[in-house]
Amino acid sequence: MNKTDSLNVLNCATLPANPVVAVAGATGAVGREMLLVLEQRGFPAAEVRALASARSAGQRINYNGSGASANNDSNEGFLEVQEMTSESFQGVDIALFSAGASVSENMRTAVVKSGAVMIDNSSAFRMHDDVPLVVPEVNPEAAFTHNGVIANPNCSTIQMVVALAPLAQLAPIKRIVVSTYQAASGAGAKAMDELYSQTQQFLNNEPLLIQNFAHQIAFNCIPQIDIFLDDGSTKEEWKMVVETKKIFNMPDIKVAANCVRVPVLRCHAEMINVEFSAPVSVQAARCALGAANGIQLIDDPNNKLYPMPGLLAGSDDVYVGRLHADTTVEHGLAFWCVADQIRKGAALNAVQIAELLLRGQVSG
């Protein structure tokens, strides 16, 4: 971990009302979604730069936001992808990164020296002591103390902590047990394509081409996401444990995670069991979740209503259902939650952090 003697408090007055925004990794699934989110939310950018590797330079990406014509000499409504270099960030105020950990590490110095704030979607800096790990609905105040880099948490962590935050206001959380059902898109655009192609191959009784996963993903579940660690857990599971502790600033909270890849295109689902230090009724939890920002309750089991990944692609909120008591512990609740991990689990969360910085204030 990196450690600095002191952290710099962001002077929000240094961010212009209409900042220049760079999207690094603009041709990837999350990068494209970042551009879409900026456009859909009307982010007031003076200019938007689409950056990617040299092999992607020259591509055109649909974009109709305020920055569409600022760096594009061809047609209105498009951005031309530029090769990302150390000089790409001159004049940039906010750099949204989804280009992989090694690229983020290599470009950090150039971004920070240019005076921009890097909002990074990779795992490169999440556990660095000098880098805040931010979910705006949960710990917005953390965004205002940084050294030029703010980290986006792992997608599966984001949706879980959004759902847990209002419950933690009812009573301190002692232990979390989470089982995830993670969509193919969590492994990128090529992984989504593989699910499509394998499904067709399976239905046509053809050999399955396996490239992006350890095993077939079509009509299968794979109980491995990322590499295995010495204790038998996977790195994805480790991320959920340590990131949750950091976001909540609760190093003693107990978290057990089990992460599984499932044949769903978009939207991760999670079954979460929570043990509190004091009684929390189902009704109190329902009221707290229903009043929370960024959460939608779909919880009517008598009418078979609950969140489902296949129906929520492209949505922005975290959806919660199947809320009930967990009677295996003294003060327990269980619930099911679903979120689009490309949106809230990545692109949207990053843009929300940028909006938070632009507002220059902490809001619930």
* Per-residue model confidence as pLDDT tens digits over 82-117: 999 999 999 999 999 999 999 999 999 999 999 999
Q: Taking Cα atoms as reference points, which of 167, 28, 192, 180 lies closest to residue 104?
A: 28
- Contact of 98 with 28, CB cutoff 8 Å: yes
Residues in contact with 8: Cβ distance below 8 Å, sequence separation at least 6, in sequence order = 145, 146, 147, 148
337 classed as catalytic: no
Distance CA 193, CA 5 (A): 46
pLDDT confidence bin for 347, thresholds 50/70/90: very high
pLDDT at 75: 54
- Contact of 312 with 319, CB cutoff 8 Å: yes
In angstroms, what CA-CA distances link 204 with 342, 352, 356?
30, 43, 49
Q: In the β-sheet with 173-182, what is the strand arrangement from edge to edge? A: 254-261, 173-182, 268-276, 332-339, 318-325, 295-297
Distance CA 297, CA 282 (A): 13
Residues in contact with 207: Cβ distance below 8 Å, sequence separation at least 6, in sequence order = 201
pLDDT tens digit sequence for 8-21: 444 344 799 999 99
| Joined tokens for residue 331 | 């003060």
155 classed as catalytic: yes
- Which domains, from first to last, does the chain contain? 12-131 (3.40.50.720), 157-183+221-341 (3.30.360.10), 189-218 (no CATH)
Task: Give alpha helix (H) positions in the chain.
Answer: 29-40, 101-113, 155-168, 189-203, 235-248, 282-291, 348-359
Give the residue carrying structure tokens 């394509």: 193
pLDDT tens digit sequence for 232-257: 999 999 999 999 999 999 999 999 99
Burial class from Cβ neighbours inside 10 Å (0-12, 13-18, 19+) for residue 158 reads buried
| Joined tokens for residue 125 | 């800096």
For range 184-196, the mean pLDDT: 94
Hey, CA dihedral for 61, 54, 71, 121, is it positive or negative? positive
- Contact of 342 with 33, CB cutoff 8 Å: yes
Check whether 207 has a pLDDT greater than 50. yes
Out of 155, 259, 267, 337, the active site residue is 155
Instruction: Decide: pTM greater than 0.75.
Output: yes
| Joined tokens for residue 81 | 């992808």
Out of 146, 259, 267, 268, the active site residue is 268
pLDDT at 74: 44
pLDDT confidence bin for 2, thresholds 50/70/90: very low
